[in-house]
A and B are shown apart, each in its own frame.
Chain A
Amino acid sequence: MKHTVRGKRSKKRTYSLSTQIAASSGWTARYRNLVLICGLFLLFSALGLFGWFEWRRYGNRQTVQEAIRSAKYGRFSDAEPILRHALDLNSGNVELLKLLALGLIHSHKLKEADVVLSQWCDASLTDAEPFRLRMDLRHNRAMQFKPGDEQERHKELALADGQRVIGLEPNDEATAQKVVWLCLASGRFEEANRICRSHLEHKPDDPELLHLQARVCHSVGDRHEAMLVLEKLLSIRPNFAPGLLILAILHYEANEPDKAIPLLRKLVAQKDGSPKEARYHLSLALAKAGHTEEAKRVMAEVQLLNFERDTAQPGVKDSMAVRVRRAELLFGCGRTEEAIASLQTLLIEDPKNFDAHRMLAIYYDQRGESAKSALHRRRSTRYEANE
């Protein structure tokens, strides 16, 4: 059999098939070993690379183990760099993130802890724990800011974390209560109401939940429901101050000051809860019940508390105006001697202070000392006109 091959170099050369096979066998024999070795080389190289990567992973795990050990059994200050190094190698390792976050929280490095907690939250979206921790952290951070945009922002972030926690773990009562508080503080009454109701289904006698529910009901004007909830709450804990306060306010609003007054007196005497708030409502109830003088005195005490708080703010000097107002409130609280002494000192420094004269005029007028009263009133009018 002949086979004709056409080509540039040998136009009419012919080869027998046997010659072709022989040539082919020679090529195979020459390169067979080389191909085999190359194949083996590639195979073992791949195996080697795989092994090398696994070895690295193993090394990382060893680092993680070491970091975990040092974090669990050593000092956090020593463990922190190791944990951070291990995290560099295993950025999504939840256990490392948790240990680092907890360590940072306990070391009061709250800003750094927030970053690590956020990484943990990102790494375990279905786990409530990091969100719970971050909610507490952010709420604590919010409280560290003075009232301002940053504080509000952190409260909002805390609330969002809390919402996620109760989305993931609907039976987490403690977090639910915190979320309700945050909702109340930010005016989200519908949400607070929903959460309270849902948790009260499981724990119908929980005093704190009942208190929150009563607060929500009162805030949204649902008086009837608030009364029912409070009735239950106070049957469980009769001296629960926040509950008593809401009940007293409800009585006041229902034109029942005589029912409100004993409750509020009790709260003012207890001095727990919100004594200023209790005083304020006591004053309103006393006035409504016709006890005008006592109402005025209690209201003056409330105003003095406001005054002390407000004048402690930055930018308030111990000016004449501030001192006059303090004296005025002292008069109101029945601390007459203090007030008189304060005004007399003030008038030595500023004899033309019309406000101080006005106040003394009122004081002497009330005491029936009309001459003195008239003198101070004249001075007050004259100095005010000259102002």
Chain B
Amino acid sequence: MKLGRLIGGLRETFSGERAAEQSRGVDDALLFRAAENAERAAETALSASQAAGASAAQQRTLLDAAVDAVKLLFSRAREARTSLAAARESLEQIRLTALNAGLEGARLGDPAGKPLVLVAEDVRSHAGRALGALERHGALFDQMDKDRDKLREQVESAQARTADVARDILQLQAVQRDVSTALGDVSARVKHITRTDPESARIVAEAADHARALLDALTALSARPQNKSLLGSLGPTLGPLIELIRDQYRDESDESP
């Protein structure tokens, strides 16, 4: 059975006695590919950490801007407090003026001073309400001061952490550069030792992958009921492959002493 011999031959190639001597070329190709993959992965990791470093730098810039914004908030709050104090002072003065106007009205007597007393009372009442509103504003400013202090602490903490992250990323980049260099060296040595050119190594590794996949599929198929008819249906497809492998082994046998 041609297919049975093919499966047996493939098994022998990958795991049997002939593996040691005949699959060395495949191992070399796989080793070469693994080294290349590792080198590529190291370069990808380095690119990723460089991108992370750029993001960290950007984040740091944003946090610096946030710190500046918080400082600006403090400055604005001081200005607002100053104008609030001026408004309070003016309202206190208005209230005093109203008290004196009421006193003057009282001194004029009733009914001559009555209108003045009433206007003074009205002004005093409005000034009192405005002062109450300013007191509430003052309380809000006090709360905002506390919130701003908290915000400043949090932003400064985030800033410090971002600086730590940026430093760690720089260290990571240095290590990854070393890894890339080392893996490049490994690839060069593998190429030198195996004397494999990259294109051939790639083709051999791919052929080995396909052969392993074929072996696994045929093994699974041979375990199914009615495997003979199933395997037989693959004859037209696998026939040329079997012929190619047979010719290959025949050539090797002819060459061997």
Answer whether A and B are interacting partners: no
B residues sitting closer than 8 Å to A (CB atoms) are none
A residues sitting closer than 8 Å to B (CB atoms) are none
